[in-house]
Amino acid sequence: MKLPRDVAGRRLVKALRRLGYNETRQTGSHIRVTPQRDGEHHEVIPDHSPVKCGTLGSILKSVARHHRMTVEDLMRILEL
């Protein structure tokens, strides 16, 4: 499945709320999100529009690995 090329950082943070991620802090243009279920997993999302494809792919792989699912399943859940 191809990665979308028009995902803004804020939109990604909002989509990750479906998996229980909440903003824990923001430093400059980077937002740190952490879920409260399935153990702690910190992820840093750049507040850019759009997020670069390589960065987006890396974030999605990390989140999918933490929740033990594929990137494709994660993208369906997040509706990206």
Under CATH, which number does the domain 9-78 receive?
3.30.920.30
For residue range 5-25, what is the model confidence (pLDDT) as tens digits?
A: 999 999 999 999 999 999 999
Task: State the Cα angle at 35 between 32 and 37, rounded to 5°.
Answer: 165
For residue range 24-74, what is the model confidence (pLDDT) as tens digits?
A: 999 999 999 999 877 789 999 999 999 999 999 999 999 999 999 999 999
